[in-house]
A and B are shown apart, each in its own frame.
Chain A
Amino acid sequence: MSQRLFVKGNEAVAMAAIEAGCRYYFGYPITPQSDIPEYLSRELPKLNGEFIQAESEVGAINMLLGASATGVRAMTSSSSPGISLKQEGISYMAGSELPGVIVNISRSGPGLGGIDASQADYWQSVKGGGHGGYHIIVLAPASVQEMYDLTMLAFDLADIYRTPVMVLADSVVGQMKEALVPNPRPETTLPEKDWVVRGRKEGTEQKIVKSLFLGDGELEAHNWKLHGKYDVMREKECRQELFMTEDAQLIVTAFGSVARIAKTAILTAREAGMKVGLLRPITLFPFPTQAYRDVTGQCKKILDIELNNGQMVEDVRLSVARDAEVHFYGRPPGAGSLPVPEELFEQIKKYY
């Protein structure tokens, strides 16, 4: 086992990117994710990589598109308002089937909002934040170790499915320091990148990376192809954590930072003799629908907790068994709005 380090979540993202072989980063500073570009601006040049502080978020996402089209591993990161600016580029990448990793250490909104921890970008992330009806894979880490492991995974999933992949976290997970075991990049067999555009020898086939399809029926076929991939992701890539769900009479569901807070509230409930468990989705798209169906075969009460006014709860309602009741408790983000375990325990008691 490698030595345990003690690092910030944001640094773990940057370290994982380097270990995953990412040598190209494009970004524009914004709180609370600036540790990521800070780390990479220092480390990438030492590895003959390229760090570019772009003129804007729009510039950065289009640099990611361009770099990715040549077949290299590349990433960008930002926070909510900056991620909004990147949506056009993400849609183009999804349409062009380009891999690439986008990290959103989200903050509160709408608009400029504030810098506090928020999960109000759930809809934007999982429902296709840009135009055109696409999905990207969305991973939701809840610890510094997962910031590392899921960033590593993001690069592989991006290459396997030729899709942008987003790591969605907030300042609790990004700014928190915890122990980290910086695992080496796992060996995986990835599809050959035979589609890349990096100059062509005469006589070889021309490669085109594009999202424009004007021929009769061409675009419809392209959309069916993309959505076929989403079905494969739904079947193969759902990930979730189940904690004390076997005998539960109430299952709390939450993702990312607030799932951590909920876990402590669940342990308090267990000490009080209440049978409470946790279902934490790790992939937000694909959403682990089957896991919800499975747990609600036995447990008929779900309490969904989010740092927003209720977004994931819609997917939870679509996923549970028909006779299960779904309750919601949310704290829209802002200074002083981060719930504490005691508060979530009160909610557990209310719905148990």
Chain B
Amino acid sequence: MRYDLFITGFGGQGVLLAGNLLSYAAIIEGKNVSFLPAYGVEKRGGAAMCTVVIADGEVGSPVIGRPSTCVYLNQTSLDRYGAKVKDGGVAIINSSLVDDSGWSRDDLDVIRIPMNRIAMDLGDARMVNMVAAGAYAAKSGSVALESLEQALKSVLPERNHRFIPANMQAIRAGAGAVQG
């Protein structure tokens, strides 16, 4: 199988950590992965994005023109990269911050999840990226939630391991929002 994903939001939303986490989970599952962060003049509040490719075989291009799934964490991302999703692909939208009513892509499977609200209900708005990661994992079936839990141990520095249970709650809530 082969999955490609583009995640975008503003700097500080944890876009790169979400991409890292999904990538690491796939590594744990023995798959091949490329994680390509947009590399420019980045700053908190500016645009942040990354491309993840997960494959059983060779990854090939880490650069994807029209990703099959895009995750939009803020309004600017959708406005700027809304056309990027492949025809017939999947868009996962953070409906807490993104209004897609003016967006016309009838070909897509659009999933709207109030990620900020879910994260806040679980105690911390900063977990919005975990909600997004859980949602993508559940929608795509690319990695198991258990692998994400294992991956958190590797991706987070030791001192932050105490946050893993809360982050897992956020990941499960994201996954639940897709299924529900």
Contacts and interface: CB of A to CB of B under 8 A. Distances in A.
Interface residues of B, number: 23
Contact of B35 (A177, A265, A339): A177
B115 to A, nearest CB: 24
Nearest to A175: B39
Interface centre among A4, A177, A178, A343 (most CB of B within 10 A): A177
B40 A264 contact: no
B66 interface: yes
Interface centre among A32, A261, A335 (most CB of B within 10 A): A261
Given A179-B27, A261-B63, A340-B63, A115 B39 contact: yes
Interface in A322-340: 335, 338-340
A255 to B, nearest CB: 15
A265 B65 CA distance: 11
A263 B61 contact: yes
Contact of A176 (B32, B36, B66): B36
Interface string B24-58: 10010000111111011100000000000000001
A177 B20 contact: yes
B23 to A, nearest CB: 6
A6 B39 contact: no
A341 B33 contact: no
A4 to B, nearest CB: 6
B71 to A, nearest CB: 18
A6 B27 contact: yes
Contact of A260 (B41, B61, B66): B61
A178 B61 contact: no
B156 interface: no
Contacts of A176: 34-36, 62
B24 A6 contact: yes
A102 to B, nearest CB: 22
Contacts of B63: 172, 260-261, 338-341
B102 interface: no
B77 to A, nearest CB: 16
B80 to A, nearest CB: 12
Contacts of A116: 39-40
Interface string B52-85: 0000001111111110000000000000000000
A178 B59 contact: yes
Contacts of B59: 178, 260
A177 B34 contact: yes
Contacts of B24: 6
Contacts of A179: 27, 32-33
A115 B65 CA distance: 20
Given A178-B33, A263-B60, A267-B60, A32 B39 contact: yes
A178 B34 contact: yes
Interface in A99-140: 115-116
Contacts of A172: 36, 62-63
Contacts of A175: 36-37, 39
Given A176-B36, A342-B65, A4 B60 contact: no
A171 interface: yes
Contacts of B27: 4, 6, 179
Contact of A171 (B20, B32, B39): B39
B87 to A, nearest CB: 12
Interface of B: 20, 23-24, 27, 32-37, 39-41, 58-66, 154
Given A177-B35, A260-B59, A339-B63, 10 more contacts: A6-B23, A116-B40, A175-B39, A176-B35, A177-B23, A179-B27, A267-B60, A338-B63, A340-B65, A342-B65
